[in-house]
Structure 1
């Protein structure tokens, strides 16, 4: 049975729904005994991996409590665990885990370097699948028609490979969206919504690195279907979709009329649908996803970080009343939180998946950093995430910062605020989350809107200063821009004591921030360019801090007529 047939099989759909809601119910129940699950997760990873080389070196067999574990294992990141992972990836057995990794997830992080994240069968069974299935529960509960047909969901992240790259031991080294969990881990129900659509596996050959052509071909096929939901995870992919529709529109319409796909005969010509599409574009002078798919009701992606600044208005391009459901607070390395209801941004801590520890985001993480338990976290504060799980990551700093929104059954509910990387030209030590909140405050107080934003530190006399490149949704006047820059500076001072100190006193170390207004599509063109270089779309994410001169110049280009720093 192929994927499309599987998503039409009533028995398979029933079992899939049951599994999704069962895993959510289990996670909800687990919240009432969060401390107990934490102890059991720790005991399981210690017992299962005590005989590994890492376990022996760190005395796993002698550890009884979390305090013992903290004393035996330092807080670490990928650079610390990397040598151990490389040994496993070269084929050496029993290094970090008792079971051999079946695949290595790739993760670009913030550096662009491709990490190798070991993924073992035990990790998938105990850590990954429970949160992975539960994550779809709000979508299926409130928008059940997304499973009515295989082509009701446009899954932008699904990206299977016929010949994936491998590590030294012959294991696939790919993105999570490129793994067939059914065949690799014996979970036939694990295929995501949208993976049975006609465009999920393209019927024409596309070179492995030709991601833009692959995205075009999927859109070309999808415009002939009644799409109800778009899955992107990475919100930059969803933001790019309206731009791509408009960019590729003439080619799409012509191919629909001709019945071709990438210039190759594919199906019967459809001049009636082509004429409908032409009328849609003529009505507005452009085309929007909500026009093409009038029954579209839900988006599934990260809703926080920079996306929180543009997603509310972006949703309107997908149709009136479209809901944006938050993807899990998770990384290739493992999960932190998953939304169990329709909360717009946050997810409950996945207490059955890992031993989660946290540290105040304003301090730098080091091997001996004192960490906090989930019950010690304060609502409205930002924290580094450190977790340990049976898949071989121990007291691992994933590099993400989360904010505690509230508590459910006493367990923190968290939202992703950005990476832990700091911008620090003059001691200001700014984080993504601080700048995003300052931007949101300035937008709110001015009534202005943007489509995206980035910043860099500009060297100038007598001191360096931040320059913000902004793509306004509608034109900003010089007066509005000047006021926005002043309010942004005020917000940054309120968010960060270090920034406030760098901006204060005689001879401040940091000058006044400036704003460079770009044209509305500047970030979309830059995203399109980056994907065109061969980087997978899932890995081309919104980035706030952009210090590389070449990348900055490509993004900003020649400023528009009004595009002078204010």
Structure 2
């Protein structure tokens, strides 16, 4: 055992001690965070416009700060982008995380000197809580990799601009730098396929022990490693690979196929990082859910998902949430985001401590007929049926078909890329549909009322989703295929890939 691995155990114990100081008094901590944020931003343009000096309670907070999306905040953000100080937060941001939104075009999410350390601390604590719980430290003595975007940054008015993962690449702690791959030069390759091939060459003979990234792109890396090794399993290529860290999408639909290419089960840690803040991470290998970061410069609010589009939806603080209810997540942060709807939905699976599951996206749903099907329901239905059939899912998405052939009822159309297509696709479709009816009562009623016919699955050729994402200019990095769409934009593109 190396020195870093030896030292990691007392370091992990101290980190967990610190975490325990706030996680068991989360509601009180959140109240303190709210008041501190308001006080620190009271002299900013946004603070003056919204009379922060008069906010003394959460009721005041809700009265003065509206719920908004990026478009509503854009006038303030553009002032910051143009170099103005003290607009949304004191001073100027250190970075802008550049993201591509579907409705707002390019978005610039501010990251400040106060918020950036919280990103790093949460990522570090995800590993330290794992070490403390399991006692496993071997991964520290080997090589680690995070499949991420380019670290190349630009600068405007003194503010560095880049993808979040590229920004974070510059802030990896010094004690991990020698363990980290790929090289800076390889990380800078823009073409994703070329980059993955370069990473394969660079890591093939290394002692890789921790691998991190968004599951579908890690799967692509593993597939190319296996091809280079003549079909060998990853466990034969990286004999000491023991920990997979992931975020961005639910791992479960990918788990069977990934464990097959690895050749065995490995421990995993789920994280919930976003450009707006590192919101939660898996702090236990035995307890369900991700520990909400209530002491990280973010004040959270929650809107019941079913009320989100109401004129005056309920707006709740942490102490008011209930278990197993889908909420739209609202952020107020020490990066200067206020009443900001991040677009994700979450539900609480524990309140002691507060742990969440990410259940989908507010805009990624199907309700063409009033069914309001969400991501969690389609993922769980597909996983349950696939597990029963022993099928491996590469990728999938779902959309409504509202204009079927003459004489047919409308239906939900599922586009699935299987590792190996089922022998009885119609039978598998029926099984998925039956689970969906149990998951969503509105969907059940529509089927039984002959408003919808049972769902139809289209089996796609191998590599279909990678080809589609490449065509869209979204191959690799932090890009994800939407699980659900309420329109046919993605579905119509994928029809050309049907087997």
- Residue equivalent to 1:477: 423
Alignment of 1:172 onto 2:160:
yes
1:511 pairs, out of 444, 448, 453, with: 453
C-alpha displacement of 1:32:
2.0
C-alpha displacement of 1:546:
5.3
CA gap of 1:398–1:492, structure 2 versus 1, over 3 A, is same
**2:285 & 2:413 partners in 1: Cα distance?**
36
- Structure with more strand by fraction: 2
- Residue equivalent to 1:564: none
**1:71 & 1:550 partners in 2: Cα distance?**
38
- Residue equivalent to 1:393: 337
Alignment of 1:413 onto 2:355:
yes
Alignment of 1:134 onto 2:125:
yes
Higher mean alpha-carbon deviation, 234-243 vs 37-46, is at: 234-243
C-alpha displacement of 1:553:
5.7
C-alpha displacement of 1:108:
3.4
- Residue equivalent to 1:339: 282
- Residue equivalent to 1:289: 234
CA gap of 1:181–1:554, structure 2 versus 1, over 3 A, is closer
Alpha-carbon contact 2:217-2:477 (below 8 Å) kept: yes
1:224 pairs, out of 189, 192, 205, with: 205
CA gap of 1:219–1:555, structure 2 versus 1, over 3 A, is farther
Runs of 5+ unmatched residues, structure 1: 1-7, 183-187, 250-276, 561-566
C-alpha displacement of 1:145:
2.2
- What is the DSSP-based 3-state SS (H/G/I as helix, E as strand, rest coil) of the residue aligned with 2:265? coil
Once the two structures are superposed, the pairs formed by residues 108-507 of structure 1 within 5 Å of their partners are 108=100, 113-125=105-117, 127-141=118-132, 142=134, 143-149=136-142, 152-157=143-148, 159-161=150-152, 164-167=153-156, 169-179=157-167, 190=173, 193=176, 196-197=179-180, 199-202=182-185, 209-232=190-213, 234-246=214-226, 249=228, 277=229, 281=230, 286-302=231-247, 305=250, 307-327=251-271, 329-343=272-286, 346-353=289-296, 354-365=298-309, 368-407=312-351, 410-421=352-363, 422-458=365-401, 459-460=403-404, 461=406, 462-478=408-424, 481-505=425-449
Alpha-carbon contact 1:135-1:338 (below 8 Å) kept: yes
**1:24 & 1:192 partners in 2: Cα distance?**
20
**1:181 & 1:17 partners in 2: Cα distance?**
25
C-alpha displacement of 1:66:
1.0
- Residue equivalent to 2:480: 541
Aligned residues: 491
Alpha-carbon contact 1:443-1:449 (below 8 Å) kept: yes
**1:195 & 1:111 partners in 2: Cα distance?**
41
- What is the DSSP-based 3-state SS (H/G/I as helix, E as strand, rest coil) of the residue aligned with 2:185? coil
Alpha-carbon contact 1:153-1:194 (below 8 Å) kept: no
CA gap of 1:300–1:189, structure 2 versus 1, over 3 A, is closer
C-alpha displacement of 1:174:
1.0
- In terms of Rg, which structure is larger? 1
- What is the DSSP-based 3-state SS (H/G/I as helix, E as strand, rest coil) of the residue aligned with 2:477? helix
1:61 pairs, out of 42, 46, 53, with: 53
CA gap of 1:216–1:337, structure 2 versus 1, over 3 A, is same
C-alpha displacement of 1:321:
3.2
C-alpha displacement of 1:25:
3.0
- What is the DSSP-based 3-state SS (H/G/I as helix, E as strand, rest coil) of the residue aligned with 2:68? coil
**2:74 & 2:161 partners in 1: Cα distance?**
15
C-alpha displacement of 1:555:
4.1
- Residue equivalent to 1:257: none
Post-superposition Cα deviations, 1:130-151, rounded to whole Å, max 9, x if no partner, equal: 32321221454544222214xx
* TM-score, reference length from structure 2: 0.88
> RMSD of the TM alignment (CA)?
3.1
Post-superposition Cα deviations, 1:478-530, rounded to whole Å, max 9, x if no partner, equal: 3xx22332233333333334434443435x1x333111122454334545x35
Alpha-carbon contact 2:30-2:318 (below 8 Å) kept: no
CA gap of 1:416–1:312, structure 2 versus 1, over 3 A, is farther
**1:452 & 1:55 partners in 2: Cα distance?**
44
1:73 pairs, out of 65, 68, 81, with: 65
Alpha-carbon contact 1:303-1:345 (below 8 Å) kept: no
Post-superposition Cα deviations, 1:430-453, rounded to whole Å, max 9, x if no partner, equal: 221222222233334545442222
**1:90 & 1:399 partners in 2: Cα distance?**
26
- What is the DSSP-based 3-state SS (H/G/I as helix, E as strand, rest coil) of the residue aligned with 2:413? strand
